[in-house]
């Protein structure tokens, strides 16, 4: 919400005023219908729950559940200060999940946006303490000191104090000993060159530190190899890449690198590794099956009768839209008994 705040009603009205009158009228009608439908659903739900609040067989009165006045979360995202709201959730995580990498990654992201340098640095140290080889730990380390290196010279007393603390703490990070950030990133890549997630993290940081090497950074990801995992599996050989990691890489190529062609190529590649994935639209996924059925229906006659109820799946197996089709060679053999 901080990076991409939701549009206020004023901004939406300004954008609407730029539309042609016909489109503006249609959009307003849709908004009114949506508001009326949401209000009607809320009222119906409240009535149902009110009538359901009756005396049970045991004689105890059952209380109705409170009505959710914001079922779609539209009011929830209208927050004046998302960072302050996020800090509340961060404190809960720090109190209950202090040994989780995700907690300190969130702390880093939040405090970097709040310009809380020392708190962000504390999150970096916690990440390295928990797992210095984690791609997230590496990202946060490089991003933090890249930002520090690009800050102007400290002017106020508080800025000088922060700078002195960082200078005193920096030697304790052995990853940075006598190395530039580019060298640190290169060493990280060499150490974890066989891992997709580590290569993606190194590629992202290469693009951050050296924007002119965008193509080289993308090639680091494209050259990743999906090796077969060690050990025997009942289902046969299993590849090492995990679908969630591949999805993250796809989003990275789309957003950070901003290259849609490369992202599409990656998506097609992963569709082969994960044929049942709806995200990658694998050949055996539900979305592919839906398209296959839709295409079959489009080929049918206008009166709705399917000319050929049989179709072939991606594996070449014959299947039908309505279950098993029994082929009758000679209708003359049919008789009523």
What pLDDT, on the 0 to 100 scale, is given for residue 303? 47
Of 20 and 162, more confident = 162
pLDDT exceeds 70 at position 19: no
- What pLDDT digit, counting tens, does each position of 146-199 carry? 999 999 988 899 999 999 999 999 888 888 888 999 999 999 999 999 999 999
In a domain, 171, yes or no: no
Confidence of residue 253 (pLDDT cuts 50, 70, 90): very high
In a domain, 184, yes or no: no
In a domain, 202, yes or no: no
Of 250 and 306, more confident = 250
- What pLDDT digit, counting tens, does each position of 85-136 carry? 889 999 999 999 999 999 999 999 999 999 999 999 999 999 999 999 999 9
Number of compact structural domains in the chain: 2
In a domain, 147, yes or no: no
Of 76 and 174, more confident = 174
What pLDDT, on the 0 to 100 scale, is given for residue 12? 53
In a domain, 106, yes or no: no
Share of the chain above pLDDT 90, in %: 49
Q: Minimal CA–CA distance to 198: which of 155, 258, 241?
A: 241
In a domain, 121, yes or no: no
DSSP 35-60: HHHHHHHHHHHHHHHHHT--B-TTSP
Of 303 and 177, more confident = 177
Angle, vertex CA 317, rays to CA 311 and CA 318, nearest 5? 35
For the segment 16-24, the average pLDDT, to the nearest whole number, is: 68
What pLDDT, on the 0 to 100 scale, is given for residue 334? 40
For the segment 14-34, the average pLDDT, to the nearest whole number, is: 70
- Asked whether the beta carbons of 152 and 119 are under 8 A apart, the reply is no
| DSSP class of 256 | T
Rounded to whole angstroms, how far apart are CA atoms 252 and 255?
5
Structural element, H or E, at residue 270: helix 260-273
How far is the CA of 310 from the CAs of 292, 295, 316, 327, in angstroms? 12, 12, 12, 11
pLDDT exceeds 50 at position 315: no
Confidence of residue 306 (pLDDT cuts 50, 70, 90): very low
For the segment 49-72, the average pLDDT, to the nearest whole number, is: 60
Rounded to whole angstroms, how far apart are CA atoms 42 and 32?
15
Share of the chain above pLDDT 70, in %: 70
What pLDDT, on the 0 to 100 scale, is given for residue 68? 72
Rounded to whole angstroms, how far apart are CA atoms 328 and 337?
18
What pLDDT, on the 0 to 100 scale, is given for residue 313? 44
Confidence of residue 291 (pLDDT cuts 50, 70, 90): low
What pLDDT, on the 0 to 100 scale, is given for residue 330? 42
Rounded to whole angstroms, how far apart are CA atoms 200 and 203?
5
3-state secondary structure 106-145: HHHHHHHHCCCHHHHHHHHHHHHHHCCCCHHHHHHHHHHH
- Asked whether the beta carbons of 101 and 127 are under 8 A apart, the reply is yes
For the segment 234-238, the average pLDDT, to the nearest whole number, is: 67
pLDDT exceeds 90 at position 46: no
Rounded to whole angstroms, how far apart are CA atoms 169 and 337?
93
In a domain, 30, yes or no: yes
- Provide the residue range defining the domain that includes 303: 288-325
What pLDDT, on the 0 to 100 scale, is given for residue 300? 52
Mean pLDDT over each residue of the chain, to the nearest integer: 79
Rounded to whole angstroms, how far apart are CA atoms 276 and 314?
11
pLDDT exceeds 60 at position 69: yes
In a domain, 59, yes or no: no
Of 4 and 202, more confident = 202
pLDDT exceeds 70 at position 314: no
How far is the CA of 320 from the CAs of 278, 283, 284, in angstroms? 22, 18, 16
- Asked whether the beta carbons of 142 and 181 are under 8 A apart, the reply is yes
What pLDDT, on the 0 to 100 scale, is given for residue 295? 59
| DSSP class of 302 | T
Q: Minimal CA–CA distance to 201: which of 281, 120, 140, 271?
A: 140
Rounded to whole angstroms, how far apart are CA atoms 111 and 119?
6
For the segment 312-321, the average pLDDT, to the nearest whole number, is: 44
Go through 19-49 and write b for each residue having 16 or more CB atoms within 10 A of its CB, e for each that does not.
Answer: eeeeeeeeeeeeeeeeeeeeeeeeeeebeee
Of 34 and 271, more confident = 271
């Amino acid at each position: 919400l901080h990076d991409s705040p939701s549009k206020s009603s004023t901004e939406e009205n300004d954008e609407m005023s730029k539309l042609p009158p016909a489109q503006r009228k249609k959009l307003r009608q849709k908004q009114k219908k949506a508001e009326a439908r949401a209000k009607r659903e809320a009222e119906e739900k409240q009535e149902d729950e009110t009538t359901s609040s009756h005396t049970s067989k045991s004689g105890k009165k059952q209380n109705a559940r409170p009505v959710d006045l914001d079922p779609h979360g539209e009011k929830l995202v209208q927050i004046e200060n998302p960072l302050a709201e996020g800090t509340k959730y961060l404190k809960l995580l720090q109190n209950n999940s202090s040994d989780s990498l995700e907690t300190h990654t969130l702390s880093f992201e939040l405090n970097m946006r709040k310009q809380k340098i020392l708190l962000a640095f504390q999150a970096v140290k916690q990440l390295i303490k928990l797992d210095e080889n984690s791609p997230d730990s590496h990202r946060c380390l490089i991003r933090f000191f890249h930002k520090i290196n690009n800050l102007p010279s400290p002017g106020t007393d508080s800025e000088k104090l922060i700078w002195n603390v960082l200078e005193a703490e920096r030697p304790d990070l052995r990853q940075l000993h006598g190395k530039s950030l580019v060298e640190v990133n290169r060493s990280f890549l060499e150490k974890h060159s066989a891992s997709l997630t580590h290569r993606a993290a190194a590629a992202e940081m290469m693009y951050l530190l050296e924007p002119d090497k965008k193509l080289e950074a993308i090639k680091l990801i494209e050259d990743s190899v999906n090796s077969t995992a060690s050990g025997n599996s009942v289902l046969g050989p299993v590849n090492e890449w995990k679908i969630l990691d591949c999805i993250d890489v796809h989003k990275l190529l789309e957003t950070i690198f901003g290259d849609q062609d490369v992202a599409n190529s990656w998506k097609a590649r992963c569709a082969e590794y994960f044929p049942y994935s709806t995200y990658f639209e694998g050949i055996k996924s539900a979305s592919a099956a839906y398209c296959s059925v839709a295409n079959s229906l489009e080929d049918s006659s206008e009166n709705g009768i399917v000319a050929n109820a049989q179709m072939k799946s991606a594996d070449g197996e014959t299947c039908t839209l309505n279950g098993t089709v029994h082929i009758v060679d000679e209708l003359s053999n049919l008789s009523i008994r």
